[in-house]
Amino acid sequence: MTSEKEISYIPKIIVAIDGFSSSGKSTMARELAKRVGYIYIDSGAMYRAVTLFAMNHGLIAGDGNVSKEELIRALPSLDIKFQPSAGEDGIQHTLLNGKDVEQEIRSMGVSHNVSPIAEIPEVRQRLVEIQQEFGKDKGIVMDGRDIGTTVFPEAELKIFVNAGVHERARRRWRELVQKGTDINFEDVLRNLEARDKIDTTREVSPLRKAPDAVELNNDAITHEEQMEWLLKIFQERTENL
C-alpha cells in the first residue's frame, strides 16, 4: 500500500526562470516554489542590493560612472540574504548586511543604476557563487537573466518568459503606482528599454534563452492559465524521478 508520505513526495529539481524585466517571472517563480515547497530566490534582488550598496557609499557618480575598483574591493564584505515572508505582505525580504532593504531596492533610482552594475564581471562572479550555494541541495526555483545559461546550466527545468515591452511597462507602472510611487508611464517604459538593451548585449552572461528552455509569451494569457501551464510542466519533469 502506498503511504500518504509517498504520495505527497515531490522530487527536488532546479527550476530556472529567466526573462525580460517585468515579464512576470518573479510572481511565477514565487508561486511555483510555494506550491511545491521549494526555496525561492530572486537573483535580481541580489543585483539590486549591490546597486543600493554602491549608491549609499557614493560609488555611483551623478553621470552614472561607477567606482568599480572600490566596489569590487567591497564585494567580499557584502552579506546578502533573504528572510522568508518576513513582512505582512507575505513576500520574502532582501537583507543587505543584516538590514531589510526590500523597499529601497525596488526604487526607480536602483532600477536606473542596476544594469550597469550587473555588467561588472566581478559582481556577477560573486553573486553567481552565492546563487549556486543556495541551490546546492536542489529544491529551488530561481529567477533572473542567466539562471538557465550560467548559474544552473544543468537545471532540470528551464523557462524563458517574455511579453511585449509596452505590456511589461504597463505592469511595472501599475505595480509602482499601487505602492504609492508617483511615476510617469514613459519613465518606466524608457527604463525597461534601457535595461533590456544592456542586459541582452553585455559581454558576460547576457540575457539569452538557453537552448533547452521552454519559452512562454504571457502577453495574452491569464495569471491562472500561466500557473496551470507551469505546474503541468513541473509535474511532467518530476514525475519519473
Selected from 92, 113, 115, 149, the binder of ligand CDP by CB under 6 A is 115
Smallest distance from ligand CDP to CB 236, Å: 25
67, 59 Cβ separation under 8 angstroms:
yes
Which residue has the CB atom at the shortest distance from ligand CDP? 44
Side-chain half-sphere exposure of 95, counting CA atoms within 13 A: 12
Identify which of residues 115 and 162 has a Cβ nearer to ligand CDP in the complex.
115
Q: Which stretch binds ligand CDP (CB under 6 A): 57-65, 72-80, 82-90, 143-151?
A: 143-151
HEC string for the chain: CCCHHHHCCCCCCEEEEEECCCCCHHHHHHHHHHHHCCEEEEHHHHHHHHHHHHHHCCCECCCCCECHHHHHHHHHHCCEEEECCCCCCCCCEEEECCEECCCHHHCHHHHHHHHHHHCCHHHHHHHHHHHHHHCCCCCEEEEECCHHHHHCCCCCEEEEEECCHHHHHHHHHHHHHHCCCCCCHHHHHHHHHHHHHHHHHCCCCCCCCCCCCEEEECCCCCHHHHHHHHHHHHHHHHCCC
**218 lines the binding site for ligand CDP (CB under 6 A):** no
Find the part of the chain contacting ligand CDP (CB under 6 A) among 44-52, 58-66, 80-88, 209-217: 44-52
Binding track over 174-213 against ligand CDP, x by CB under 6 A? ---------------------x---x--------------
Total binding residues toward ligand CDP, as defined by CB under 6 A: 15
Smallest separation (angstroms) from ligand CDP to the CB of 41: 10
Among 144, 148, 155, 171, binds ligand CDP (CB under 6 A): 144
Say whether residue 148 binds ligand CDP (CB under 6 A): no
- The least CB distance from residue 55 to ligand CDP, in Å, is 14
Identify the residue among 114, 120, 140, 216 touching ligand CDP (CB under 6 A). Answer: 114
* Residues engaged in binding ligand CDP (CB under 6 A): 21-22, 43-44, 47-48, 114-115, 118, 144-147, 195, 199
